[in-house]
Structure 1
Amino acid sequence: MKVTHDFIMKTGFEAVTTRKIAALANVNIAMVNYYFGSKDKLLNETIKAILNSYKGCFAILDQTELPAKERLKRFLTDYAKTFQRYPDLLRQIVKHSSFPFESQFEFAHFVKTMGFPKILTVLQEITQEADSNKLIMTGMQIFGALLFPILMEPLISGIYHCPLPDIEQQVEEIMSKMSL
């Protein structure tokens, strides 16, 4: 899995083959198939490990001893930095607009049932907004503003030659524009 993870980091998901992973891991292809069953199952387990790092970002939202704005700021920074480490995963999800791997479906379920409600609770604490539809829209706008530059970074830097500010600056800018 470590070899697969490192290979994904360098080349993206599309380039992964069982043969390449076996060669890089210095093992027989049959061994990869024996332990994982298929390339898709190997990718699923690797993606699961990556997505678990995203789940960890949500824990900051539970630290109620911190002011709500600070929790949101830390969460957004950690979450964006994690996506920044794995931009191809974000691009793959957007490209397929579905979840080809079980681990992606599990993560989407986690975000829907546990993660996003935590975000809405913190936003409600900050804004005192009672309308859940407005809170959901605010949350979606924040994520759009935060993840779009990561998704579009190759286009932005390659064509427009516009360097993106670091994640901390982007989070500060988003929060100030949204009066959070």
Structure 2
Amino acid sequence: MKEEKKDQILIAAEKLFSQSGFDGTSTRAIANEAGVNLAMLNYYFGSKDGVYNAVVEKRLGDFRQILSSISEENISSWDKLKKCVDVYADRIFNNNCWHKIIQRELSLESRTEKSDFIIDQLMKNVNEIQKVIQEGVTNGTFREVDTELTVATIFGTKYYLLNASVLASKLLNADLKDHQVLEEQVKPRLKRHLLDLLSAHLRRL
């Protein structure tokens, strides 16, 4: 029951943070949205900052566990990278609220404790993918490449599609605000593109 209530609060907080931002969201509004009392929210998370950090840690921590488990599998470096791309592409289109929260903080001109916290958590996930690529370079599966910029290419494609969605919709001739279009057209297309790109860039002839 305790974990169920905590999850309710985090789901409500994620929704409200994405709609109104951190400053525009109150702990009372989160409690009301979650159907719990304010005392319970404060007991579990201590403050609005605590709720915010918990949302970030849950989303990025869950993804990190998946990436980490892939990197430990007894399969080729290329198969690991394919799995990472597959999971990544699935997740980036499945939670628009979460990506709004990330973009809202990272687009601010001045860095804040929250943006620094998000960046620190994101880098842990970036490092998991970077580790898979570097493993392939080390064992000879992949060519010697700029690992950091290769990772930036993967993440940069996602940022373009989600954060410049009007322009990307025209470029792809697909409505990126339509969830069905994202699922049935854009996501499979993105997976094929990233794998084709990475195969040509990384794999030895």
Aligned counterpart, 1:121: 134
Contact 1:22 1:29 in 2 (8 A): yes
Deviations 1:126-154 (A, max 9, x none): 4221x5xx232222222212342133336
Match of 1:78 among 82, 87, 91: 87
Q: How does 1:138-177 map to 2 (within 5 A)?
A: 138-153=150-165, 156-157=168-169, 162-163=174-175, 164=182, 165-177=185-197
Aligned counterpart, 2:179: none
Q: Does 1:5 align with 2:18?
A: no
Unaligned runs of 5+ in 1: none
Unaligned runs of 5+ in 2: 1-5, 176-181
Aligned counterpart, 1:62: 72
Considering only aligned residues, what root-mean-square deviation do their CA atoms show, in Å? 3.2
Distance 2:30 2:63 in 1: 24
Deviations 1:38-97 (A, max 9, x none): 11111111221111112023221232x323222112101212322332322431343137
Deviations 1:150-175 (A, max 9, x none): 33336644998623534343122122
Which amino acid is 1:41 matched to? G
Which amino acid is 2:133 matched to? L
Match of 2:55 among 42, 46, 52: 46
After TM superposition, the structure 1 stretch with the greater mean CA deviation from structure 2, 119-128 or 151-160, is 151-160
Distance 2:38 2:121 in 1: 29
Contact 2:60 2:122 in 1 (8 A): no
Identity level (%): 20
Distance 1:172 1:159 in 2: 17
Q: How many correspondences in the alignment?
A: 175
Which amino acid is 1:128 matched to? R
